[in-house]
Amino acid sequence: MGLRIDKMLANMGYGTRKEVKKLLKSGVVKIDGVIVKDPKTQVNPSEQVVTVRGEEVEYKEFIYLMMNKPPGVISATEDIVEETVIDLLEEEDRAFAPFPVGRLDKDTEGLLLLTNDGQLAHQLLSPKKHVPKTYFAVIDGEVTEEDIASFRRGVVLDDGYETKPAELVILKSGLRSDVEVTITEGKFHQVKRMFRALGKRVVYLKRIQMGPLVLDPSLEVGEYRELTDEEVEMLKQFRP
Ligand code: URA
């Protein structure tokens, strides 16, 4: 598969198309050892070696990022007013035009996958696939065995929709309870609405797992990293 050298370098974070054009003009870019100056030059990154000032440019088409989403930012690619998860990325990662796979509410934290691999995103988001998503939640109120049974049966939300069975695990019960919830759908505000249906309120929500992908505990809130090759493979192979 070939592409224009200016597009390849722009994708890899060497600047805007205009900046890349200047770079090419200055004679520091080579394909297989030969200086190229024409931005329209076609290159096949899987077969040819591209260097900038002698340093090899490693080309990849797709990017896969795991973010520990902080509260206060929205899971969208752009917004006129609000800060988005894309705003938190380094320029070199943003150059790949990744988008969030699914949404977390503005005040929800935790695991968010960002990629430009539309096919994988589609697989993970398809309602037919029932990809399980696990959340840690703090609930204002005492969570009981009855609640576990209700979640297992499915809960009727405020709009009359009956959810699929969900798994509820009580980690700590009290006036404030710590729980883990696993759902296989992604209705708007689903976890919060499921608890509201039982007369309880979610005061803190953090996603910790999506399919086989587990939030890296070493990622501070607001930090992100690339997925390992193993994690990408695991996601691609995943069949719930
Ligand atoms: N359920 C919610 O209520 N909010 C989220 O962000 C994710 C799941």
C-alpha 133 to ligand 1 mean position (Å): 10
Task: Give Rg (Cα) of the chain.
Answer: 22
Q: What is the pLDDT of residues 181-240, one digit of tens each?
A: 999 999 999 999 999 999 999 999 999 999 999 999 999 999 999 999 999 999 999 887
Q: Which of 106, 99, 146, 89 is nearest to 125 (CA)?
A: 99
**pLDDT below 70 — which residues of the chain?**
1
Here the tokens at position 20 are: 């890349």
What stretches of the chain show up as alpha helix (H) in DSSP? 5-11, 17-25, 91-94, 118-125, 145-153, 190-197, 229-237
User: What would be the CATH architecture of the domain defined by 3-56?
Assistant: Roll (3.10)
Alpha-carbon gap, residue 119 to 19, rounded angstroms:
31
> Torsion over CA of 9, 73, 130 and 171, rounded to 10 degrees?
130
Residue 144 near residue 102 (C-beta atoms within 8 A): no
Alpha-carbon gap, residue 104 to 114, rounded angstroms:
12
Alpha-carbon gap, residue 168 to 144, rounded angstroms:
10
Task: Establish whether residue 205 lines the binding site of ligand 1, counting it when its CB lies within 6 angstroms of any ligand atom.
Answer: yes
CATH 3.30.70.580 in the chain: give the residue spans: 64-127+213-237
3-state secondary structure of 212: coil
Alpha-carbon gap, residue 217 to 214, rounded angstroms:
9
Task: Establish whether residue 183 lines the binding site of ligand 1, counting it when its CB lies within 6 angstroms of any ligand atom.
Answer: no
Q: Which CATH number applies to 132-210: 3.30.70.1560, 1.10.3720.10, 1.10.510.10, 3.40.50.970?
A: 3.30.70.1560
CATH 3.10.290.10 in the chain: give the residue spans: 3-56
Task: Establish whether residue 106 lines the binding site of ligand 1, counting it when its CB lies within 6 angstroms of any ligand atom.
Answer: no
C-alpha 164 to ligand 1 mean position (Å): 15
Give me the count of residues in the chain. 240
CATH 3.30.70.1560 in the chain: give the residue spans: 132-210
Active site residues: 105
Distances (CA, A) of 84 to 7, 71, 88, 100, 132: 25, 11, 7, 10, 25
CA-based torsion, 174, 135, 183, 238: positive or negative: negative
pLDDT score for 11: 82
Q: Which CATH number applies to 64-127+213-237: 3.30.70.580, 3.40.50.1000, 3.40.50.10490, 3.30.565.10?
A: 3.30.70.580
Please tell me the pTM assigned to this model: 0.86
Task: Establish whether residue 178 lines the binding site of ligand 1, counting it when its CB lies within 6 angstroms of any ligand atom.
Answer: no
pLDDT score for 222: 97
pLDDT score for 1: 58
Alpha-carbon gap, residue 127 to 101, rounded angstroms:
13
Going by DSSP bridges, is the β-strand pair 64-69/224-226 parallel, antiparallel, or unpaired? antiparallel
